[in-house]
Structure 1
Amino acid sequence: MRRLRHLTGHRRTVASNRVLGLLLAFNAGAVNAGGFLVVHLYTSHMTGFLSSLADNLVLGQMKLVLGAIGALWAFLSGAGTTAIMVNWARQRRLRSTFALPLLLVAVLMLLFGLVGAITLSWPTPFAVPLTVLLLSFIMGLQNATVTKMSSSQIRTTHMTGVVTDLGIEMGKMLYWNRTGTAPESQVRANQARLRLFAGLLGMFLVGGIAGAAGFKHVGFVFVVPLALVLLALSLPPLWADRARLRQPWRKALALQAPLDPPLDPPTAR
């Protein structure tokens, strides 16, 4: 329990950021690849939707434009929700600063796994199923959580930046330093960053394989175990904050409580 609380608590370390980032990269890869089999769209990164918006705006395909706008809006809303929850928790000095948005991710993934098939037929004003909006919102939540948690050093829902940084470190590793070059002038790879980016890329790939296989053979229910893992990660800090989380409710109830009724007037003798 203490290890889980440390993993998602407000006090961050390089090790805890790395472990949580790897777990969430696996989760994003699974949701992204598995979701593609359902809605035929990758919902964990917005580059494709932004390009689709530009292309179809020029081509006059307004239905596809609305679909791209819907996914972008949902992802932005998820990231904004994370910012609200994290700053709310920070102002109250809660241990569950980053556990709160992860709890919301877990709950939404659990709902998606249990009733996701129903959402495919629900109409939306954005010309895409509610499933696309839900998955984009979840990915926005997760990506913003990891971004704020790691001070923008780790991304888990899209791999373009990770592959770029990994390539930079590999270039440094392969660079030939001439004999006699001063140690402070030599080009050397950052081994910690190299391992981190390689790990994120590998976990996203493994998660994608697992997600594609899970959705193909099991269906929406495959998401339930992933949601339960995130639930297990987010609950320990929330449990540690249970007393502080009750305080606002107690104050609100105290303000709403009716005043004591007046005493009955004395009876005449």
Structure 2
Amino acid sequence: MFRHQGKSRTLTHNLRIAIILSFVAGIVNVTGFLAFKQLTTNVTGHFALFIDDVANFEFWKGTIYFLYIFSFLFGSFSSSFLIEKYRENKRLNVFALPTIIECLILITVGILSNFVAIKYPDLIICTLLFAMGLQNSFVTKISNAVVRTTHLTGLFTDLGIDISQLFFAKYNPKKEKLKSNIKLRIYIILFFFAGGLAGGFFYSKVNLKLNTLIIGAFILLISLFYDDFRYKLIKTRRKYHQKKKKSFKKKNNGLTFAKL
């Protein structure tokens, strides 16, 4: 699901990555909000607050919201930059780089919260927004802008449009594709919601606090290594079958030559 790109990418690949990443985003969203009372997966609310402070000439107060926005933007830029820089390296899964960085950020924040008193929560919020910028950027690139997992505003808009188009089937000959898009968006919304529930449960009920972020990181790492393991397994099987075919052909050619 992390490797397939372009025409080789199917609905199944998009569904798998959407389920995992939206679930992780839901965990980060709720954990960040419960810990700091700030949004840590999107910048829509931060932008509104930034504009409000600027309109009231409270420029210094608005700086923090600008930093939130910039952190998400910089995360998106960094993810895309890494993907483009290493795209020509055929041996490297370029989408693994931003995923691993995201995991490291979530694990670091979770572990440090156990040993260090958080005196600068804004710094942690910026870090989490950077991680979500990374995620949103690479999933957008890998799915050809079909999947977005860190916020729901655009998803609900697209879902509403797609559902309305079902009532005008004669104007939409690609009905199956339309149904696939609806299915994908519903899955993203549901698993974002499920991730939020899981995040709230582990943060409050189990009392893991910011350690809840580590759960999200492990989910990402498991899915990433599973994907690489599965890819290597398929590659090994293909090589084995190719060798088997070659040896079979040589054997047949040798028998034919002996008969002659």
Question: TM-score category by the smaller chain?
Answer: 0.7 to 0.9
CA gap 1:119/1:197 in 2 versus in 1, 3 angstroms: farther
The equivalent of 1:82 in structure 2 is 79
Q: Does 1:132 align with 2:125?
A: yes
User: Structure 2 length normalisation: TM-score?
Assistant: 0.78
Q: Which residue of 2 aligns with 1:260?
A: none
CA shift digits 1:174-216 (9 cap, x unpaired): x267xxxxx5677957111111011111111111111122222
What is the letter of the counterpart of residue 120 of structure 1? Answer: I
Greater displacement, 194-203 / 91-100: 91-100
Q: What aligned pairs does 1:154-233 form with structure 2 within 5 A after superposition? A: 154-173=147-166, 175=167, 183=170, 190-216=178-204, 217-233=207-223
AA aligned opposite 2:201: A
Q: Structure 2: how far apart are the matches of 1:146 and 1:187? A: 24
**Contact 1:95 1:238 (C-alpha < 8 Å) held by counterparts:** no
Distance verdict in 2 for CA 1:137–1:220, change over 3 Å? same
**SS at 1:8's partner residue?**
coil
Q: For residues 181 and 228 of structure 2, what CA distance do their matches in structure 1 show?
A: 31
Distance 1:10 1:84, change over 3 A: farther
| Superimposed CA distance per residue, residues 203-260 of structure 1 (whole angstroms, 9 cap, x where no aligned partner) | 111111111222223211122122112122334677889xxxxxxxxxxxxxxxxxxx
Structure 1 gap ranges (5+): 1-6, 123-127, 178-182, 242-269
Give matches, 1:28-67, under 5 Å: 28-67=25-64
The aligned residue for residue 120 of structure 1 is 118
**Aligned-pair CA distance for 1:77:** 1.2
> Could you tell me the percent identity over the aligned residues?
25
Contact 1:9 1:95 in 2 (8 A): no
Counterparts of 2:45 and 2:35 in 1: how far apart (Å)? 17
Equivalents in 2 of 1:40, 1:184: separation in Å? 45
CA distance in 1, matches of 2:37, 2:150: 17
Instruction: Judging by fraction of residues, say which structure has more helix.
Output: 2
The size of the alignment, in residue pairs, is 224
Q: Residues 111-144 of structure 1: CA distance to partner in whole angstroms, max 9, x if unpaired?
A: 111113637314xxxxx62111111101100000
Aligned to 1:252: none
Give the aligned residue type for 2:102. V
Contact 1:113 1:224 in 2 (8 A): yes
Aligned-partner Cα distance in 2 for 1:207–1:213: 10
Secondary structure at 1:90 match in 2: coil
CA distance in structure 2 between the partners assigned to 1:185 and 1:37 by the alignment: 43
Against the structure 1 CA distance between its residues 229 and 186, is the aligned structure 2 distance closer, same or farther, given a 3 Å change threshold? Answer: closer
Cα distance, 1:93 vs structure 2? 2.5
Residues 59 and 17 from structure 1, CA distance in 2 versus in 1: closer, same or farther, beyond 3 angstroms?
same
Point out where structure 2 has 5 or more consecutive residues left out of the alignment.
233-260
Q: TM-score, normalised by structure 1?
A: 0.76
CA RMSD of aligned residues (A): 2.4
Alpha-carbon distance in structure 2 between the residues aligned to 1:164 and 1:23: 22
| Structure 1 contact 120–129 (Cα < 8 Å) conserved | no
User: Could you tell me how far apart the structure 2 residues matched to 1:30 and 1:142 are?
Assistant: 13
What is the match of residue 266 of structure 1?
A: none
* CA shift for structure 1 position 160: 0.8
